[in-house]
Every structure is written in C-alpha cells, then in structure tokens.
Amino acid sequence: MKNNKLSQISNSQKISDIDLRILKDVEKKVSWLSAWMIHNANNIRPSLDGIKVGGHQASSASIISIMVALYFKILKSEDRVAVKPHAAPVFHSIQYLLGNQNKDKLENFRAFGGAQSYPSRTKDTDDVDYSTGSVGLGGAITIFGSLIQDYVTQHNFVSKNFKPGKMVALLGDAELDEGNIYEALLEGAKQNVRNCWWVIDYNRQSLDAVVADKLHLKIDELFASMGWRVITLKYGKKLQSLSKIKGGNKILNWIDNCPNDLYSALSYMGSKGWREHLNKDLKNNKDAINIINSLSDEDLNETMSNLAGNDVEAVLEAFIEADNDDIPTCFIAYTIKGFGLPLAGHKDNHSGLMNNDQMKGYQKNLNVKNGDEWDYYSGLDSSEDLIKDFLSKNPFYEGDKRLFSDKKIYIPNKLNYKNAEVSNTQEVFGRILNEIGKEDSDLSKRIVTFSPDVTVSTSLGGWVNQKQIYNREHKEDIFHNEKVVSAQKWLASPKGQHFELGIAENNLFLALGAAGLSDKMFGSALIPIGTIYDTFISRGLDALNYAVYQDARFLLVATPSGISLGPEGGAHQSIITPLIGIGQPNLLMFEPTYADELEIILRYTFAYMQDPKGSSVYVRLSTRNIPQIKREINEKIEEEILSGGYWLEKSKNKSNITIVFSGVMAPEVFEALEVLKEDNLDVSVLSITSGDRLYKDWKEAQKQRSIGNKVLSRIEELFLDTRKESVIVSLIDAHSSSLTWIGGAVGKKTVSLGVDEFGQSGNLKDLYQHYSIDADAIVDACAQALSN
C-alpha cells in the first residue's frame, strides 16, 4: 500500500445529496444482483452435469462503485466501454436496472442462451461495446477505437450530429501484466490518442496472488511516459476526513506503509485484526490511538477499508473533474477485492463463492426480502418513484439507440490490374490496390489499410504513395523534401488512408477489430485491410480471435507464406496458417493460385465483408512467380473459384487419381501430371481456392442431411466426376494435414504432401525436394496411393 501520492480529487464539483443517496441505493442493488446472479447459477439453478458454474463475486464487488458512477452519472450515449471480463455480472446487473437486460437472462447467467460469463458483443443482448475475456485485450482495443473515431471524423464519414465519445476501459490490475497493453499504449502515444480513459481496479490481487508492493509507482511512470494523465484514487471519503483530525494522518501513513498482503489479510479479518495491528504499531501516538478507540468495531472496519475505488462519491468526483477535456487518462483506483463480502481481501477469493449461510447474511444486511431477489427496489432507502425517475434520466441512454449502421459501399464488377505471363499473388494484390487508389470511387475512399511495419514488403507501397499515411497532424516527408531518392512518399496527414503501425501484430488485429466495427460504432462503413507476414499471424492470434469474435469485418492479407519464400526463410515460413484458416470461426480463408483468382476473391471479399451473413476474410498470398493461365473468366468460373475448389484439369475418362492442391504448387502439379500421363493414368487436378469454405460447406451438408434434406456438398459433388475406387494425392505449401480431410469427406484413400517441419532457407528446387513437395514427390505419392 505504499504510496505517497494523495488522491488528486478536489471538491470543486459537488454531487447533489439526493443524487448521491440514490446512487448509493443503486450501488447496493447492483452489489446484490451481481452476487445473487452468481449464487443463483451455482446453488439454486439445478445442475444437470455436476460441473462447477462459477462466476466472480469478489472481482465483481471490487469494481461496483466505479461502474455505478460511470454508468449512472458519467457516461454518455456516444461513449464506448470495454468492461473487465470478470465484472460481467456487474455489467448485466446495471443493464437490468436500465431496462436492457431481462430477468430470464440473469437467471440463466452462464447457462446456454443466458447472460454471458464475460461481456460478449455478439452473444449478449444487453449492449456490450467490446467483447472481453482474454485479459489485456479489452483495455487495449479502446485505444484503437479512439483512433478510428478520429479517423472517421477527420474523413467526414460521420453524420453532422455525430459526437465523439470517450473510449473507456475498465481493467483489472493484473491485466497490466499482459505485454499487449504496452504495445497498445506505445502505438497510442505515437498516434496522439485522445478521448480514452482507463480505470484500473487496483485491488492488488490477481487470480493466484497478491501483487508486488509499489507496483502502482511503475504504473504511474509508465502511463505518464506515454503522455497520459494519471489520477490516483486512494482514500475514500471516510479516510479523507481522517486527515482533518489530529492523529488521523498517522493512520493514513500507516495505511501507506502497510504491505499489500497485510492490508488484504486485515480487510478479510475485519475489526479485530485492524485494532490489534493499529494499537501495536501506533502505540506511541496518543491521538491516533484515541481515534481508533473512539470507533466501534463496525466503524473501524468501514473506515480502514474505505478505499476510494469502493466509494462511489470519491470516484464520481474524480471522474467529473477529468471529464472536461480529451486528455487520455488513467485512473488508478484503490479497491478491495470482494469489497463488502465475507470474501473481502482473502488471497484465494478470485473464484471463491459465498456459501448459503453467507449469502443469507448478505441478503439480510441489504434488507432484500426473501422472494424479492430479482426485484428492482427491495431493500433500498429511496422510494420507487425517485429511483425510477433517476434511472429514466440516465445520460447513457438518452436519445437514440447506441446502434449505428451505414449504407453499403459499392463494389464494381471488375477490379483493374495488369496481369503478366508470370506473376505472383502478392504483387498482383499490390497492383489491384494501386489501381483502386487511382479511382475516385466510394471503394477507393473507404478502404483504410494497416500494416505493422511491413507495408512496403507486403506490396502496399504504391497504395500508400497515393493515399498517404493517416495522422491527426500533417507531417512532411523529409526524405522527399530533401530530394533523397526513394520509391516511397511517406507524407502523413489527417486525410491519409493508411495506418503505419509499429511491429506489433497484436496492435494490427486490435486496430482491424476497431476499424471493422466502425459502421456499428460510428455509422461509418470502412473497408479495413491489414497486411502481415503470414507466419506472424500466430503472434497476434488471440487479438485476431477477439476481433472476429466480436464480428468486426476486415480483410487480412497474409504474405509471403510457406517455404516458397525461399532464401528469405530462416524462421519466416508459415506452416500452420491454413489450419488456422479452417479452424478460426468468423474468418473465411482463401488461398488463390493465379492473379485472376485473386481479383475475383478480392472483389467478392469487399462485398462479403459488408454482408450481414458474411465475415472477415483472410487471403494467403505468395511472392513466388508462377506462369499464369490464359482463360476467359465468366460467371461460371467465378462461381467455381469462389466455391472453394474447381477442376483445373480433368482427365478424359473419370480419373483414378485426383491431385488436390492449394496455392503456389501449381507448377509442380503440372510437371508431375506430364509424367503421370506418360503412364496412361487418368489424373485430374482439383485446385482448392478455399479449403476452409469447402470444409464449412461439407459440414453444413451433413447438418442438412441429418434433418432429412438430401443435399451434396461442393466437395462431394466435385468427386462425382471421379472413379469410385480412385485415390487422392494432396499438396500444399503448409502443413500436410490442411487438405487431408478431403479424403475423409469423399471416402477416398489419400496421401498428403506438405511441410510438417520447421522451414529452411534455400532455393525452391532444394526446398521442395527436401520437404517432398516437388513433382517427383507427387509422382511417388500417386504410386503409393495406388499400390495397396
């Protein structure tokens, strides 16, 4: 508890007594409902499987005053909040009082279809702004939410009456252990983030432990060095008043010097513990001892546990005072985990639950009548009318709904680019974007790109030269002005359309998540595109997971990929990413082979991202140049390419071997085909543009068949053109299992080729030979598949 900084709050703006009385009632009600919701789920709702339900009574109790002050007095409808995951019960209770959550959902907290364990934008129905659950991510996305808010405002994409809001993160103190927090803070500092509040529930406890002493000093310094205002809320009103009594400061000093674990333990033990320690440690100070002796057990306990973060009046005053500007602000609010509950301060309280007797005692203390557990007013001091009136004036739900939408961005029937006889998909992606950049179209204006320091090496350079880098302030390109020759013109301005991020893949996905919600958050549709090296998707995977979990819509362009990046390899070769493409919900993956496929896929993606039934899209590209095929693209071919797989080569007779491949392996497939044809084998080649889509389609077909609908999936349909006893050889520059499932889907013996070990540097010939994905390996695999 060592901290020499006193709370910064002043009493300049008073809250009316009546408002305060009602707020304390609301606080009481939220405390009760959060604890009861969890108790009901664990002890009253019948259990069918004996599995622990859980919920976090202590984490919830810790942050109630903070959330009540925010939601009932401070937040306005334009503000957006990321609530710490374990405060979901508090959030749901608040929404219940505000009429956005129903009793049924609360009774079914953590049950199927009920209120979610952790606030979920997509699964909850009570107005969650940002989904949280993986600690650190919820807080961090608010920084990017704020940057995107500035972006759409400065680009005039918002309606005339749009008001910028605060992006508020409510964080547990242990969330600050997550590295992504600092990546986000640094990016925010670079981009001059504003309108962002982080409120840290500083209960000095994580899941397992009590945190190190003096941590707040580090937090203080860190935020200050990032340009944030830091406001420490330490003493509640009762403790603040001690400073005015003789001897009171001695008690405050004692608290300042009390180690975190002792303070927590005494909060748990109550008055007896406090008295014993204070009497011993302050025995030489008569005034302090007089104060201690003058307090009843209850008053002593209340006073000593009166930290500002658990005192609605103290937090409110601080929020009101900081609410007059757009400076990013971190509030370090001292709290007690489990405040007001028998679990308070106990080091094991994270997953602790009150037992039946404790709950009964708690109910009695709060005057909630038996049978009135879900009642809005039972046990409160203020009248029903007064509370109703207070709730009806809530500034958060004043005026229109907080749900926005925007009209769709028009996507043309063709994207222009110049193809060459030999080319690679990454380069073509760059060319397509460059051409879009030249247009004065809606699409050209609404695309916003992001890259974590791989802009040029993922071929976004041309686009950025035209569209400039986005920054709130205008910044000249000094190299350009000084006439230093460079292909890049890196001018930054508020009109720019590219976010040049530092090398932090978490930030890329947080930014894409925030931008991909722009239509719903700000009523401004965007087409966010992020570029990344394919292998580094894993680096930000959890942030990607959360971005798509909240149904943010964006295009992820991952390139280069696989061992096909050749000499540049080392540890840059991606192996498992197609499996991520298949396994990750809400993310449709494509891996095109040819330039014309990529054009079709991008065009489709821009529309699919905007389709309510669509999702985000991931395209895996390559820098490997391969000969292109000349063909007229018509609607049928387009459809086939987008279906996930199509016949690139079909044997005269029904085939007895099908080579199934994805991406850049086409030249090896054709080389092997020539050899196999010499043996008079009937071989067909199936190009898989999206194993992910084919797999999903197959699963859907199974579901339909299970309810009696006679349907065939695309992959099953395709294989009708093969012989019954035919075999499959699959090939991909990625883990061999990526395409193996096809054998199971169509009931055919399959030999899978791919890269199952870490990559190596080398030329493609050596590498393909070493990993057995060259033409010889394909021919061998065919022989093997046919042999037994």
Ligand X SMILES: Cc1ncc(C[n+]2csc(CCOP(=O)(O)OP(=O)(O)O)c2C)c(N)n1
Site residues (vs ligand X, CB under 6 A): 59, 62, 84-86, 134-135, 172-175, 201, 203, 205-207, 337, 350
At residue 52's C-alpha, the angle toward residues 46 and 55, to 5°, is 95
CB of 174 to Mg ion, least distance (A): 5
Q: Which does 134 bind (CB under 5 to 8 A by kind): ligand X, Mg ion, none?
A: ligand X
| Phi and psi angles of residue 659, each rounded to the nearest 5 degrees, phi first | -95, 120
Return d(Cα 54, Cα 574) in angstroms, integer: 39
Closer Cβ to ligand X, 150 or 201, answer by number: 201
Q: Which does 207 bind (CB under 5 to 8 A by kind): Mg ion, ligand X, none?
A: ligand X
**Residues in contact with Mg ion, total (CB under 5 A)?**
5
CB of 337 to ligand X, least distance (A): 5
Closer Cβ to Mg ion, 262 or 579, answer by number: 262
Return d(Cα 308, Cα 623) in angstroms, integer: 57
CB of 161 to Mg ion, least distance (A): 39
Closer Cβ to ligand X, 232 or 736, answer by number: 232
Q: At what angle do helices 17-39 and 312-322 cross, to 10 degrees?
A: 120
CB of 508 to ligand X, least distance (A): 18
CB distance 229 to 240 below 8 Å: no
Closer Cβ to ligand X, 135 or 773, answer by number: 135
Q: Which does 175 bind (CB under 5 to 8 A by kind): ligand X, Mg ion, none?
A: ligand X
CB of 136 to ligand X, least distance (A): 6
Q: Which does 498 bind (CB under 5 to 8 A by kind): Mg ion, ligand X, none?
A: none
CB of 203 to Mg ion, least distance (A): 4
Q: Which does 135 bind (CB under 5 to 8 A by kind): Mg ion, ligand X, none?
A: ligand X
Q: Which residues pair with 498 in a beta bridge?
A: 449, 469
Contacts of residue 770, defined as CB under 8 A and 6 or more positions apart, other chains included, come to 760, 762
Q: Which does 704 bind (CB under 5 to 8 A by kind): Mg ion, ligand X, none?
A: none
Return d(Cα 326, Cα 193) in angstroms, integer: 9
Q: Which does 711 bind (CB under 5 to 8 A by kind): Mg ion, ligand X, none?
A: none
Closer Cβ to Mg ion, 205 or 655, answer by number: 205
Question: Both tokens of residue 605?
Answer: 């993606």
Q: Which does 736 bind (CB under 5 to 8 A by kind): ligand X, Mg ion, none?
A: none
CB distance 339 to 61 below 8 Å: yes
Q: Which residues pair with 334 in a beta bridge?
A: 202
Q: Which does 59 bind (CB under 5 to 8 A by kind): Mg ion, ligand X, none?
A: ligand X
Return d(Cα 742, Cα 477) in angstroms, integer: 51
CB distance 656 to 786 below 8 Å: yes
CB of 351 to ligand X, least distance (A): 9
CB of 221 to Mg ion, least distance (A): 20
CB of 543 to ligand X, least distance (A): 11
Closer Cβ to ligand X, 203 or 232, answer by number: 203
Return d(Cα 184, Cα 513) in angstroms, integer: 13
Instruction: Please provide the DSSP assignment of 349-373 as one string.
Output: GGG----HHHHHHHHHHTTPPTT-T
Question: Both tokens of residue 175?
Answer: 């969330």
CB of 212 to ligand X, least distance (A): 13
Q: Which residue is nearest to ligand X (CB)?
A: 172
CB of 138 to Mg ion, least distance (A): 14
CB of 235 to ligand X, least distance (A): 20
Place of tokens 């339900």: 53
**DSSP designation for 205:** B
610 binds Mg ion (CB under 5 A): no
- Mark residues 196-235: x for contact with Mg ion by CB under 5 A, - for none: -------x-x------------------------------
Closer Cβ to ligand X, 335 or 615, answer by number: 335
Residue among 280, 600, 677 nearest 432 (CA):
600
Closer Cβ to ligand X, 1 or 555, answer by number: 1
Return d(Cα 693, Cα 695) in angstroms, integer: 5
Closer Cβ to ligand X, 541 or 637, answer by number: 541
- Tell me the three state secondary structure of residue 175: helix
CB distance 626 to 424 below 8 Å: yes
Q: Which does 638 bind (CB under 5 to 8 A by kind): ligand X, Mg ion, none?
A: none
Q: Which does 216 bind (CB under 5 to 8 A by kind): Mg ion, ligand X, none?
A: none
784-788 contact pairs (CB < 8 A, 24+): 784/751, 785/657, 785/727, 785/728, 785/729, 785/749, 785/750, 785/751, 786/656, 786/657, 786/727
Closer Cβ to ligand X, 133 or 592, answer by number: 133
Closer Cβ to ligand X, 337 or 603, answer by number: 337
Closer Cβ to ligand X, 59 or 690, answer by number: 59
Cα 755 from chain centre = 30
Closer Cβ to Mg ion, 84 or 155, answer by number: 84
**DSSP designation for 69:** H
CB of 283 to ligand X, least distance (A): 34
Q: Which does 155 bind (CB under 5 to 8 A by kind): Mg ion, ligand X, none?
A: none
CB of 133 to Mg ion, least distance (A): 16
Closer Cβ to ligand X, 7 or 62, answer by number: 62
Q: Which does 624 bind (CB under 5 to 8 A by kind): Mg ion, ligand X, none?
A: none
- Tell me the three state secondary structure of residue 174: helix
The backbone region for 362, taken as left when phi is positive above 0, alpha when psi lies in -120 to 50, beta otherwise, is alpha
Q: Which does 86 bind (CB under 5 to 8 A by kind): Mg ion, ligand X, none?
A: ligand X
Question: Mapped to the 3 state alphabet, what secondary structure does 3-44 carry?
Answer: CCCCCCCCCCCCCCHHHHHHHHHHHHHHHHHHHHHHHHHHHH
Residues in region 126-185 near Mg ion by CB under 5 A: 172-174
Instruction: Please provide the DSSP assignment of 561-623 as one string.
Output: -SGGGGGG-TT----SHHHHHHHSTTEEEE--SSHHHHHHHHHHHHHHTTSTT--EEEEE---
Q: Which residues bind Mg ion (CB under 5 A)?
A: 172-174, 203, 205
